[in-house]
Structure 1
Amino acid sequence: MKIERLSQDKIRIFLTFDDLLERGIQKEDMWREIPKVHELFSEMMEQAYSELGFDASGPLAVEVFALPAQGMVVIVTRGKTDSHHIGYPDTDDDHDDEVYEMEVTLEQSDTVMYAFRDFEDVISVSKKLLSSGISEDGRLYAYQGKYMLAFDPAGSEPSKYHAIIALLAEYGEAASVTTAVLEEYGKVVIAAGAVKEICNHFE
């Protein structure tokens, strides 16, 4: 479980599928109100408080994004109110009467996102993707000192989809950011056809 602060009132939590399996939670369970998911949320909020000093009292807006091949991203924003609340008991004994008031949004993303520390790796993986005929598509972003390649393999046959992930994993690491975060906080370097564009410029 990895937690980072996006702003004073917003944090992002990245859960790998291993994090979920360790707690006996399937990806589909995040869409259900069950005690295990409540416990996981309490654990996330305790860790956010101990690591970042993020106090989760009061109303919270929670966005859960399922990412293929990577895990889940949970974005928690403090201070938004809505008519739809789910009560999560506070585990702190000093605040027995408090609950987490949550407005939960669940989204499934098919975008495959990988991060690369070095632009040379982006060039290498692009050449491999193009020469093997797997893909000439993709979007390239710059974010927090890294390059991010994003693919939307909707409609691709599973073998092609897994081949893209296998090649990306050789050179980079699965990224715990969503496209929405990249477009808000990162910089779009190549908006479409990134693989082909990179190969054209770096023969």
Structure 2
Amino acid sequence: MKIERLSSDKIRIFLTFDDLTERGIQKEDMWQEIPKVHDLFTEMMDQAYTELGFDATGPLAVEVFALPAQGMVVIVTRGKYDQHLGTMNEDDLADEIYEMEVTLEETDFIAYSFKDFETLIEAAHTLSQNVTEAGRLYHYKDQWVFTLDPAEVDMSKHAALIAVLAEFGDATSVTEAMLEEYGKVVMPENAVQVICEHFKRND
């Protein structure tokens, strides 16, 4: 579970499928009002407070984005604290903390980050066995982020491609919009082919 602050009132939490499995939660459970999901959310908010000092008091808007292979991204936005709550007792306040508006979306966007370019070169040469005319490369927060639009590749090859990306890189929760706004586009298209043509893998 990775947590990062986006603004004073907004955080992003990245949950891997292992995080969910460990807690006995299926992807489909995330938008249901069941105890184990509530427990997971409580755990996330406790960790957010411990790591970032994010106080989840008041109504929260929760957006859950299901990624095809990496896991889930949960965006939590804190509403404005109602001054009238100051007169409530602690039991009432506890109920208010988890007054959530949850929306769920699925995205096909696949993104993996690489700390060094040499590792990315190795990954690209391995990927080229299954696909060449695909991929987009960004530089974002001192890392190389390789993204893949599943529409560019054969559905039957998705699992193999993701297995390679997971072997060499790290699944990242960054969104396409974040990359476009804050990252630098290094290779706008056919990143696999471009890397393989210009960079040789280490023998």
- Kindly indicate whether residue 18 of structure 2 is the aligned counterpart of residue 18 of structure 1: yes
Q: Could you tell me the TM-score, scaled by structure 2's length?
A: 0.82
Identity among equivalent pairs (%): 67
Matches within 5 A, 1:105-144: 105-130=103-128, 132-144=129-141
Shift of 1:168: 1.7
Q: 1:194 aligns with which of 181, 191, 195?
A: 191
Q: 1:169 aligns with which of 166, 175, 185?
A: 166
Q: 2:182 aligns with which of 182, 185, 199?
A: 185
Residues in 1 aligned to 2:15 and 2:50: alpha-carbon distance in whole angstroms = 17
Cα gap change, 1:94/1:195 in structure 2, threshold over 3 Å: closer, same or farther? same
Aligned length: 192
Correspondence for 1:61? 61
Shift of 1:190: 2.1
Correspondence for 1:152? 149
Cα gap change, 1:53/1:93 in structure 2, threshold over 3 Å: closer, same or farther? farther
Give the residue type in structure 2 aligned to 1:14: F
Q: More strand per residue: 1 or 2?
A: 1
Correspondence for 1:103? 101
Residues in 2 aligned to 1:121 and 1:70: alpha-carbon distance in whole angstroms = 19
Deviates more, 1:135-144 or 1:172-181: 172-181
Correspondence for 2:47? 47
Q: More helix per residue: 1 or 2?
A: 2
Q: CA RMSD in A?
A: 2.4
Cα shift readout 1:95-114 (whole Å, capped 9, x = no counterpart): 34533333322111222221
Unmatched runs of 5 consecutive residues or more in structure 2: 82-89
Cα gap change, 1:133/1:43 in structure 2, threshold over 3 Å: closer, same or farther? closer
- 3-state DSSP of counterpart to 1:49: helix
Give the residue type in structure 1 aligned to 2:125: K
Give the residue type in structure 1 aligned to 2:137: L
Give the residue type in structure 2 aligned to 1:44: M
